[in-house]
């Protein structure tokens, strides 16, 4: 830690660390006296604060004692976020003890994020964070921030064409080969399901493919697939007006993929990775798809659209087919703010995970834990699959009134080569915060970026058995 502190600063130190001992010596044992008086040794966790200490040029010293053996990485992130939030508007600098786990700094940086570009006054200014010996954590924050920025942008600013441009402008300089397919090309290619979602909009639809081929020559890539509905009115099946403004975050799955590709390229990971996102705007209009319309997918399967607000699965279905046809990936994970049903089931605590491979699901869950992102495996099965059978087409885009997240996953599974490890992550409850949390203010979370990065950066098995979806 920097031993010369700014006067308008707060110091967050670990009880018993070398910096603690140094500061205690400067203060003639006052830290030890204060900690003993507060019985710091008798509790697992404790915060003790000394304000305006003599002989140390700082505003506050906060001593943190934590039981390392019982503390998870995410707990450490919350420590960093909590104490940064406590001081960020009171001081100009916050110093973190170098002996704290890097996750503390991680949490502080996540907490520092603010999206205020459209404020013309009262723009928040937060304290600078100081810590030594940080390597990969800071650059991952850049990726999370990028994802949050994308999700935070209003729909009139970030529409499909602009989104595609930002992806190219940001990722191409990092060495990612970005391919942008515009409306006319998609029509020729046959991505009719995806195009049907956007046909009521005055704005064209796009698909963006991001190639990071930095692994062994000839190795099949990992495919990361994201739903990018830049604004979702529900189409003809119009959503209620209340909270519709939040529907700018319906591209949170794509933002996770884009943010992860940013982190993967920034760190030059030795893997072959394909990121693909479908970018559309779902609007009601005289040209919009109607309930009851039948559309032929890229796979050749026909879909009866019974609810135009169940549009994300149509976008994903076509790009899942495309990435399999073009790249033959060794494993696939798709992310989407797909269903309100998953929010009813899991709230805003965890995302739903659906998979055809227990091992692949475990790999993703472990990658999420490392990044402080939680997943709960959800069931699928023939009964949910039958709910998406159509009387006039191969399938319909909704099931019955119940089990909506499972029927949506079963719909997607019809477009997946069942010999390929696949997972669907329904992040509808996790992409957007409605209240401040330790590591994220109200607004976009950037959920999924850390999971996907850790996943690609992990040494998971090259062969993963397909044991089928978890059943009840």
Separation between Cα atoms, residue 423 and residue 448, nearest integer Å: 13
313 given a catalytic annotation: yes
Which residue, chain included where needed, has tokens 């998609």?
Answer: 186
DSSP-derived secondary structure letter, 437: B
> Locate tokens 């073009």: which residue?
326
**φ/ψ (deg, to 5) at 439:** -110, 5
81-85 long-range Cβ contacts below 8 angstroms, 24+ apart: 81/107, 81/108, 81/110, 81/111, 81/437, 81/438, 81/439, 81/440, 82/107, 82/438, 83/10, 83/12, 83/47, 83/108, 84/108, 84/111, 84/112, 84/127, 84/129, 85/111, 85/436, 85/438
Q: Which of 165, 166, 239, 377 is catalytic?
A: 239
Residue 310, CA distances (Å) to 75, 114, 279, 437 in order: 36, 31, 15, 30
By the 8 A CB rule, do 231 and 154 touch? no
Q: How far apart are the first and last CA of the chain?
A: 53
Among candidate residues 111, 87, 77, 68, the one with its CA nearest the CA of residue 12: 87
Question: CA dist 363 to 224, 273, 355, Å?
Answer: 14, 16, 11
CB atoms < 10 A from the CB of 195, how many?
Answer: 23
∠258-260-264 over CA atoms, to 5°?
Answer: 120
Half-sphere exposure of 14 toward its Cβ, with a 13 Å CA cutoff? Answer: 18
Q: Are 236 and 310 in contact (CB under 8 A)?
A: no
H/E element, 426: strand 422-426
Which entry of 203, 227, 313, 414 is annotated as an active-site residue?
313
Separation of alpha carbons 34 and 65, rounded Å = 13
471 is catalytic: no
For the annotated catalytic residues, the residue numbers are: 239, 313
């Amino acid at each position: 830690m920097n031993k010369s502190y700014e006067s308008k600063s707060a110091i967050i130190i670990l009880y018993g660390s070398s910096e603690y001992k140094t500061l205690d010596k400067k203060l003639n044992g006052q830290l030890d006296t204060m900690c003993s008086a507060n019985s710091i040794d008798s509790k697992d966790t404790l915060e003790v604060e000394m304000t305006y200490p003599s002989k140390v040029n700082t505003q506050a010293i906060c001593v943190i004692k934590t039981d390392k053996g019982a503390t998870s990485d995410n707990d450490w992130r919350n420590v960093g976020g909590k104490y940064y939030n406590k001081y960020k508007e009171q001081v100009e600098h916050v110093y973190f003890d170098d002996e704290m786990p890097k996750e503390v700094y991680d949490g502080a940086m996540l907490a520092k994020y603010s999206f205020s570009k459209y404020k013309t006054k009262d723009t928040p200014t937060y304290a600078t964070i100081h810590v030594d010996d940080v390597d990969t954590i800071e650059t991952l924050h850049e990726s999370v921030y990028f994802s949050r920025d994308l999700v935070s942008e209003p729909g009139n600013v970030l529409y499909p064409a602009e989104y595609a441009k930002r992806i190219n402008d940001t990722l191409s300089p990092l060495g990612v080969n970005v391919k942008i397919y515009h409306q006319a090309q998609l029509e020729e290619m046959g991505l009719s399901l995806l195009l049907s979602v956007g046909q009521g909009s005055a704005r064209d639809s796009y698909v963006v493919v991001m190639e990071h081929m930095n692994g062994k020559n000839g190795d099949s890539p990992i495919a990361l697939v994201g739903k990018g509905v830049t604004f979702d009115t529900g189409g003809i099946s119009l959503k209620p007006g209340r909270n519709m403004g939040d529907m700018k975050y319906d591209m949170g799955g794509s933002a996770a993929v884009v943010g992860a590709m940013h982190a993967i390229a920034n760190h030059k990971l030795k893997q072959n990775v394909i990121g693909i996102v479908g970018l559309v705007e779902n609007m009601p209009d005289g040209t919009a798809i109607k309930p009851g319309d039948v559309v032929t997918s890229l796979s050749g399967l026909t879909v009866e659209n019974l609810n135009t607000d169940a549009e994300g699965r149509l976008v994903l279905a076509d790009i899942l087919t495309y990435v399999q046809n073009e790249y033959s990936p060794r494993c696939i994970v798709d992310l989407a703010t797909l269903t309100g049903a998953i929010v009813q089931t899991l709230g805003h605590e965890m995302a739903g995970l659906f998979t055809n491979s227990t091992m692949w699901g475990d790999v993703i869950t472990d990658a999420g834990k490392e990044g402080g992102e939680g997943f709960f495996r959800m069931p699928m099965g023939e009964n949910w699959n039958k709910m998406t059978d159509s009387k006039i087409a191969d399938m319909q885009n909704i099931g019955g009134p119940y089990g909506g997240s499972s029927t949506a996953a079963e719909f997607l599974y019809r477009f997946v080569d069942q010999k390929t490890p696949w997972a669907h992550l329904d992040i509808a409850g996790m992409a957007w915060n409605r209240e401040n949390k330790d590591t994220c203010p109200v607004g976009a979370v950037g959920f999924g970026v850390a999971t996907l990065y850790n996943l690609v950066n992990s040494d998971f098995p090259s062969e993963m058995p397909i044991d089928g979806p978890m059943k009840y």
